[in-house]
């Protein structure tokens, strides 16, 4: 693996510490964390380094993304960061046998709704009672107007792919409840983003 495969997402440096602060409270003291749609792999490096008591399992359905994750992992040489695996959130079966927590950053709005349905179904299968599913991203809330920045972001997403878009917290929570996942916390984040912490019933 060559270092040239590394990708960079400028937003990662801006949001990683704010996300980490919530993860410190939401994640268990030890165990395996499955990250869904890890993208460039930069978040995985940052969180695995900051949370050495946890084993971090990154994943992504895209081969180039997995190459980037692997290149970042090779450079960081963190003992608690596992090699990335191919995982499509919408699949009916995941190549993972257990996890004590699941984290998913910036996937729900940049994917068809079927990916969110699959994410909830997979979390429902994999997690045990009390274990967290933690989501981060831009969301809408029923009865509240979108902030101008999120409205522009929503319009851009819809132009790029009509199947993408900002989902409502209520719609995501409803589908989660169908999979025995209850919304425990909704945390306001910088740049009009939210973190949703679900717990397996």
Mean pLDDT for the chain? 94
* pLDDT, greater one: 123 or 8: 123
Q: Domain range holding 178?
A: 3-200
Please, are residues 153 and 159 in contact by the beta-carbon 8 Å criterion?
Answer: no
Whether this model's pTM surpasses 0.85 = yes
Residue labelled with tokens 């978040």: 43
Assign 81 a pLDDT band (cuts: 50, 70, 90): very high
**Three-state SS at 170:** helix
Is a pLDDT exceeding 90 seen at residue 124? yes
> Which tokens hold the place of 64?
């180039």
Give pLDDT, residue 109.
96
Mean pLDDT of 50-74: 97
Assign 62 a pLDDT band (cuts: 50, 70, 90): very high
Number of domains in the chain: 1
Strand partners, 22: none
Please, are residues 34 and 101 in contact by the beta-carbon 8 Å criterion?
Answer: yes
* Predicted confidence (pLDDT) per residue in 1-55, tens digit: 444 788 777 777 788 999 999 999 999 999 999 999 999 999 999 999 999 999 9
> Which tokens hold the place of 146?
């979108």
CATH number of the domain to which 150 belongs: 3.40.50.150
Contacts of 35 (CB under 8 A, 6+ apart): 43, 44, 47, 56, 57, 58, 59, 102, 103, 104, 105
Mean pLDDT of 95-113: 96
């Amino acid at each position: 693996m060559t270092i040239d495969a590394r990708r960079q997402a400028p937003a990662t440096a801006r949001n990683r510490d704010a996300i980490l602060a919530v993860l410190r409270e939401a994640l268990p003291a030890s165990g395996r964390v499955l990250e869904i749609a890890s993208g460039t792999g930069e978040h995985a490096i940052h969180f695995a380094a900051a949370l050495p008591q946890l084993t971090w399992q990154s994943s992504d359905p895209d081969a180039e993304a997995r190459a980037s994750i692997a290149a970042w992992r090779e450079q960081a040489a963190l003992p608690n960061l596992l090699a990335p695996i191919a995982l499509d959130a919408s699949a009916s079966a995941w190549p993972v046998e257990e996890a004590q927590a699941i984290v998913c950053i910036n996937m729900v709005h940049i994917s068809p709704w079927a990916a969110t349905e699959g994410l909830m179904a997979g979390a429902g299968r994999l997690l045990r009672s009390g274990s967290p599913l933690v989501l981060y991203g831009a969301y809408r809330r029923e009865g509240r107007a979108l902030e101008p920045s999120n409205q522009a972001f929503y319009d851009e997403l819809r132009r790029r792919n009509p199947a993408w878009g900002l989902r409502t917290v209520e719609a995501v929570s409803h589908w989660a409840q169908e999979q025995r996942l209850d919304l425990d916390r909704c945390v306001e984040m910088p740049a009009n983003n939210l973190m949703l912490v679900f717990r397996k019933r």
